[in-house]
Structure 1
Amino acid sequence: MIFIIDKNPKNETFEALMDLAFETCTEFHLVLRRDMGNIRALDPILDKFKGSLKEMKLESKWASTILEDDNKAEVYYYHADENAKKVVKELSNSLYEWCLSGPNVLPEDLSFFKDDSVWLVNCAHERESYINTDDEDEIQRLKNIKGLKISEYPR
């Protein structure tokens, strides 16, 4: 089942969603688009995640985007561990803050993976995200997050 996130999760709602994502998933990614300005300015932020880094790949496709014209981005894959959860919560209080444009410049498209499948897809600059799960316990826990506005979208 796909659950569209209808409203940007903020503050306590974002924290509760991150708690569930880090509990449910084994990894997540962050993206630096080379065509979006001085991405090296984000190195201090990436350093905060260093202990959780699995790998960085140059890719033209990730959870929420496919680039054209052979463009590539730096896609950083991380373990969904306690260190990373702490850093995510320190850096942001909203799902749609994870983009290079805006007052709080962060790496793009914080998205999570469970068992090598995308679980939370986030395209922050488009303000679009969804969760992909058929697990009844996860669905119930999503529905119980106070303030989380989701719509069921059958496949």
Structure 2
Amino acid sequence: MSDKPGMGQFILVVRKDLFLSFQAKLVLSRLSDSLIAIREQFEWPGTILGGGEPAIVCYFKTDNHAKKILKEVSNSLYSWVQPDLPEDLSFMKGNNLWLVNTSHESESYFVTEEKEELEEILGIRNIKIKQK
């Protein structure tokens, strides 16, 4: 996660129908200083629930405090799965999606047309790229 301007915010999702570990609750508590909003939603980037209870989607500022915690807690996008951690860590720039992550499916994608960003993404070691 770079310190580039415009990184904006990120989300974490808590499914009400799944157990949430003490560690996951602690992560959310530690991130509270960066919290923007909490909303109940049936959909979020990469996921649409087919019914049942809505999930709790937490919106956070991508500030230095939050980045430090995210880096300490996990070194993999796909470890953000309940019960161990909140789900689907995804990032936005302003109101636009930037990195969408569906953790339990081990699937992520970037939304960008900026050449410099694309070159940086393509340069990430061990990343598998499928281009549209």
TM-score by length of 1: 0.78
Distance in 2, Cα, partners of 1:123 & 1:147: 18
Distance in 2, Cα, partners of 1:66 & 1:125: 14
Using the TM superposition, give the Cα deviation of residue 81 of structure 1 relative to its aligned residue in structure 2, in angstroms: 0.8
Using the TM superposition, give the Cα deviation of residue 145 of structure 1 relative to its aligned residue in structure 2, in angstroms: 1.9
The equivalent of 1:136 in structure 2 is: 115
CA deviation digits over 1:37-96, x for unaligned, max 9? 2x3733211011011110111111101111122520110000011111110110001110
| CA-based RMSD | 1.6
Q: Which runs of 4+ in 1 moved over 4 A?
A: none
1:145 to 115, 124, 127: 124
Unaligned runs of 5+ in 1: 1-18
1:43 partnered with 2:22: no
Paired residues, number: 130
**Mapping for residues 3-152 of structure 1, pairs under 5 Å:** 19-20=1-2, 23=4, 25-37=7-19, 39=20, 41=22, 42-101=24-83, 105-152=84-131
The equivalent of 1:8 in structure 2 is: none
Label 1:108 to 1:84 Cα distance change in 2 as closer, same or farther (>3 A): same
Q: Percent identity?
A: 38
TM-score by length of 2: 0.90
CA deviation digits over 1:73-123, x for unaligned, max 9? 11000001111111011000111000015xxx1000000111211111111
Label 1:145 to 1:40 Cα distance change in 2 as closer, same or farther (>3 A): closer
Higher RCO structure, 1 or 2 (CA under 8 Å, sep 6+): 1
Partners of 2:21 and 2:85 within 8 A in 1: no
Distance in 1, Cα, partners of 2:16 & 2:110: 27
Amino acid at match of 2:40: L
What is the DSSP-based 3-state SS (H/G/I as helix, E as strand, rest coil) of the residue aligned with 1:93? coil
Using the TM superposition, give the Cα deviation of residue 147 of structure 1 relative to its aligned residue in structure 2, in angstroms: 2.4
Unaligned runs of 5+ in 2: none
